[in-house]
Amino acid sequence: MRAVRLASAVATTALLLGAVTACGGSKGGNDAKSGDAKGGDPIAAALTGDPKAALTASALVMQKAGNGKVSMVSPDDSKGGGTGDADWKEPGKASVDLVGDMGGRKLKIRVIGPDAYLGGDDAAAALGGKHWVKLPAGNEAGDGFRAAGQMLNPVVLLTVAAQSGKLSKVGEETLDGAQTTHLKAVEDTATLVAGMSALPEEQRKVVQKTLEQDGKTLTFDFWLNGKQELVQYQEYGDSNGPKQAVTVKYSGLGKAAAITAPAATDLGSEADLLKLLAG
């Protein structure tokens, strides 16, 4: 059941991000104006070393890029992982296309706004020759995959951290051969969930219960390069600690492949989903 485990790992971070896009974008804009007023340029302001200005500037840079290559790495195989493309140009239609090793097969997760699919070439045997199955609303794996579209949206993540996190600068570090600035944001889980006004009340309760399994407090570490691009982030809760952090890396900004929905003629039935997940 690797797909379900991956969905659970994704949802832990993603659900806290998914519903704050609208308010986050608005406040992020105000922060950017504040940076302009102080330094004439939000990136110039960020280079003064202020973590809030740096995260706000990075959100603007990542918003301009609009998409990129992503890699999600978990501390152990049981929590899954994947690599592929993400598109965050439209907050309400965040899309991801990831491939990961699930039960010895290379399966793909594709999310386009509210629609989530699981499949790929290795799924054909379980899907009667089809390559995809659409995951219905309320499906545990599907809900987690839909949340992945928001987890991998760096604009939302950076904006929320700039607004509500207790911020600090860890220092200058070399990451994958490049010089980066390492920043940290510590956020109260309940406060974050309370700010998710777009989520129905019942869903907020579910989100808070899920997040608090990781802890009452969440820690995000960000690595920004000299262009204020987010090249990596890690997240963990105070209950599980940094050894259980999930790592997301970004590269190839603005160069991701287009993400489109599978053809209707290539979709298997919901009954086939059980065969696929149990494989």
Distances (CA, A) of 254 to 9, 67, 152, 186, 251: 26, 5, 14, 29, 9
Fold adopted by 2-251: outer membrane lipoprotein receptor (LolB), chain A (2.50.20)
Domain ranges of the chain: 2-251
Sign of CA dihedral 128, 140, 17, 228: negative
Structure tokens belonging to residue 104:
């010895």
- How do residues 11-63 score in pLDDT, each as one tens digit? 333 333 333 333 344 333 333 333 343 444 555 555 556 999 999 999 999 99
Is the overall model pTM greater than 0.85, yes or no? no
Q: What is the pLDDT of residue 160?
A: 81
